[in-house]
Structure 1
């Protein structure tokens, strides 16, 4: 009788759990692997079981797709793709593995992960109606999976959305909670491990701050400009009073574009693209009213963009894009001893073709990088 009851209970539990959480974990590639894609990839994110990779792609200005890559016994191949109504940029996966959010130049797409894996025709649940001119670029999901934060590069703010309404297929204006004001060109977002804080980068301070133009021009059409900022945002206050949710800010070099946190939440890493450098600071120093904040600066190569801390906290990896050079000599750089005065380089892998974003498989050791102009995704086992 006890065995019967136990079997019945397990069956009920299985029916209640999302399909993505039931599958056994898939083996990561044992060697470096590169997958060709039909369009330029922006970001890649793994399913909770490492059996799938979802890659946002830009096909044209108003057309994009999610490339769905399947991992079978450590062999990763393109399985299919799902069209989007706009070029695909930043991604975020809910912690329950049920929803994939993709920012586009035509709003914020919300997709059902199970249907996405099965290539169902109705995988796209709907689009959150962001202003097409806002420049939605990066996304982060709250730990309870109820709220979504999206940096809007052209609108100079971070929009806050109600994901519960998206699950109920309410994609109208009522799903928008409000906007967090930022400086010029907000891009990178990272939530603290406890979910209480949201860290965001803005590429430059606004002219109204009257700061000196210390940063050199980027690219042929650029011009000298002021440093950018790292913002510390109260994620809970952003739900009730987003206009006043920024609690602290500090200069963060020239064109800070991405941000990543250590697993402890005590250290924040920033890529300062215009400084060709990786920055490090302690989150406890970034408090309201604090002015004496120590920022360590490590020159690492031309135009770094993506940054990711390995889940065990042992390494930090950077996509050195070299995006403004005619040579296109991008590479991926990994560092260990990351709390020391000067981190130690552990690997420098060539990555020609504009390496843009880096993250890790859920195995905690396999690096994923998108190569934008090469139209590829590469997976690299890192040292254990």
Structure 2
């Protein structure tokens, strides 16, 4: 009875899904890394990929048939939190890499990280709406960072939350509380956010 009721709703279809086409001539490869990977982002140039490990950032070369681990960069223990480093995203200009961790996001200079240069970790955007950060996304102009708190805290009614940071301000004026703009309580188990630019 329930099946026929739902099938009669607008937009519902009881038919089988169409067969999926096969991907032909796609080369695959894998690489074992020193810890549990979560997020992955590719640099804009240079055949480089960044992977979030539990307490480190892995930098891999993708210029051959097999990815190679070039080096790892330790992430600040106080910023990583108990869940470790998770989602990774790159700003649209390719300059900064943001890693969701703890109560906010760790901001890394992508070029320094790729080169293994000192000072790659620039600072941390620290939120106030929980410690269950899982993903981070960037506004199209690279000005704002949106950090998804999966479960929030008492302040959010234990609902998932999206915290907003002024990334530009943090990079130019320091990673203090003033970089935090605010937050938006959502529902349970908030994972990711997509930021879309609309035509004016």
TM-score, normalisation: structure 2: 0.75
Which residue does the alignment assign to 1:88?
85
Consecutive unaligned residues in structure 1, runs of 5 or more: 1-29, 59-63, 198-384
- Residue 189 (structure 1) aligned with residue 193 (structure 2): yes
**Candidates 51, 54, 57, aligned match of 1:66:** 57
Aligned to 2:148: 151
Give the corresponding residue for 1:215: none
CA deviation map 1:70-102 (0-9, x unaligned): 122444200001111221101111000000000
Q: What's the offset of the Cα at 1:183?
A: 1.1
1:270 counterpart residue number: none
Preserved CA contact (<8 Å) 2:107 2:124: yes
Counterparts in 2 of 1:132 and 1:181: CA distance versus 1, 3 Å:
closer
Cα distance between partner residues in 2 of 1:112 and 1:135: 24
> CA offset at residue 49 of structure 1?
2.2
Q: Write the distance in 1 (CA, Å) between the matches of 2:103 and 2:183.
A: 18
Tell me the alpha carbon deviations over residues 174-208 of structure 1, each in whole angstroms, 9 at most, x when there is no partner: 0011112201121122223xx249xxxxxxxxxxx
Paired with 2:173 and 2:40, the residues of 1 have a C-alpha distance of: 25
Distance in 2, matches of 1:34 and 1:142, equals 31
Give yes or no for contact 1:107–1:127 (8 Å, CA) kept in 2: yes
Decide whether the 8 Å contact of 1:125 with 1:169 is kept in 2: no
Report the CA distance shift for 1:74/1:49 in structure 2 as closer, same or farther (over 3 A).
farther
After TM superposition, the runs of 4+ consecutive aligned structure 1 residues lying more than 6 A away are none
CA distance in 1, matches of 2:177, 2:117: 27
The equivalent residue for 2:52 is 56
Structure-to-structure mapping, 1:17-36, within 5 angstroms: 31-36=27-32
| Length, aligned pairs only | 161
For the pair 1:118 / 2:115, whether they are aligned, the reply is yes
Separation (CA, whole Å) in 1 of partners of 2:28 and 2:92: 27
- Residue in 2 aligned with 1:161? 165
The alignment's C-alpha RMSD in Å is 1.9
Contact 1:56/1:102, CA 8 A, preserved across alignment = yes
1:170 equivalent in structure 2? 174
* Residues 41-71 of structure 1, C-alpha deviations (whole Å, 9 max, x = no match): 011110112610000111xxxxx11100012
Q: TM-score, normalised by structure 1?
A: 0.40
Q: Distance in 2 between matches of 1:120 and 1:49?
A: 17
- Return the structure number with greater strand share: 1
Q: What is the aligned partner in structure 2 of residue 109 from structure 1?
A: 106
